[in-house]
Structure 1
Amino acid sequence: MGWKASLTRMACVFVYGTLKKGQPNHSFMTSCTNGIAEFQGRGRTIDLYPLVIGSKHNIPYLLNVPGKGHHVTGEIYSVDDQMLQFLDEFEGCPDMYQRTPVRIEILEWEGKSSAPEERPAVNSIMECFVYSTTTYPPEWINLPYYDNYDSLGKHGLRYNPRENR
């Protein structure tokens, strides 16, 4: 089985919250015990979405309400089946978050690809799985919307990691 066969089993995931580089849960993306997640580059949602910080633990949620909010910036990863299963469990899928395909505009690719001709061009659009939610308290739609999440951002709503809850 060559690299091409293994590549076809990789899924594309767009992360916008605590799993991004420099954020509190990024280590889960780099831990090989969870599977493989390869950082591909940065992107943003084609459609507008409300990205809010909700619950008493200050968790970033992408509310699945296309057309309201901002173009949300995040990171594109290719992940294997094991990592996808880990992320489904980590994100409480399908109860807390639902994994849905979303159109992402590519802002930049990271480094050199082993097969650059198979990459969509920068500024083109690709579909990635995103963990967003339709199962949120209705008042969350009135929370402030963000276009780029940072746990230490000006909002002052620092994320409370699971191990502290």
Structure 2
Amino acid sequence: MKGFVLLSVIVSVFPAVHMTLIFVYGTLKKDQPNYLLMRNPDNGQAEFVAHARTVERYPLVIATKNNIPFLLNVPETGQRIQGEIYSVDKKMLDFLDEFEECPELYQRTTVQLEVQDGPKSGSIIKAFMYSTTTYEPEWLQKPTYESYNASGDHGLRYVP
């Protein structure tokens, strides 16, 4: 019975932290302009899980005068998008919702991903991603990308 009481005290002092899987494909990826936001503990916790790509195809375009990467929520159009999966706590999830202007500009939706490395390589998992259903019609005519890099050969410099 003493062990039960001790376990009860430990659980109440150290409550379980709920973590959520998020798929990032643009400026929040490692070595991209906004990656530091993912690493800032003031925004919450974010731990890298694996590289992955979407099971479905989507158009990833670079648009606006700021050359922002947008994943248009038009499944089966475009390419399978490569990115990174992170496990984030509620504080980071709330921060990302605000940063991505969710739900006004982007919507947080569930996506199926094929894990590309680590112990779960080849498996299919679900995570949240930020995509948009609000875009200019001509964006569907823009080139699509499988992977975003702010310094890519597309020549479209990201403007924060």
TM over 0.5: yes
Match of 2:65 among 34, 39, 56: 56
1:3 CA displacement: 8.0
Kindly report structure 1 stretches of 4+ aligned residues shifted beyond 4 Å.
none
Unaligned runs of 5+ in 2: 1-10
Root mean square deviation, CA, Å = 1.4
- Whole-angstrom distance in 2 between the partners of 1:154 and 1:95: 30
Q: Which amino acid aligns with 1:5?
A: A
Q: Write the distance in 1 (CA, Å) between the matches of 2:22 and 2:159.
A: 23
Q: Which residue in 1 is equivalent to 2:135?
A: 136
Taking a change above 3 Å as real, the CA distance of residues 3 and 22 of structure 1, as seen in their structure-2 partners, is farther
Cα pair distance change 1:145/1:12, threshold 3 Å = same
The answer to which structure has the higher strand fraction is 2
Deviation readout 1:26-72 (Å, 9 max, x if unpaired): 00000000000001110000000000001100000000000000000
Matching residue within 108, 111, 120 for 1:102: 111
Question: Could you give the per-residue CA deviations for residues 121-141 of structure 1, whole angstroms, max 9, x where no partner exists?
Answer: 211111010000001111101
Counterpart of 1:5 in structure 2 is 16
Change (3 A) 1:151 1:103: same
**CA shift in 2, pair 1:42/1:3, >3 Å:** farther
Aligned-partner Cα distance in 1 for 2:45–2:129: 17
Residues 80-114 of structure 1, C-alpha deviation per residue, up to 9 Å, x if partnerless?
000000000000101111000000100013xxxxx
TM-score for the superposition, normalised by structure 2: 0.90
State the 1:4 CA deviation.
8.9
Under a length normalisation based on structure 1, what TM-score does the superposition of the two structures give?
0.87
For residues 99 and 137 of structure 1, the distance between their equivalents in structure 2, rounded to whole angstroms, comes to 19
Residue among 63, 66, 83 paired with 1:74:
83
Structure 1 residues 49 and 5, CA gap change in structure 2 (3 angstroms): same
SS of 1:46's partner is strand
Larger-Rg structure: 2
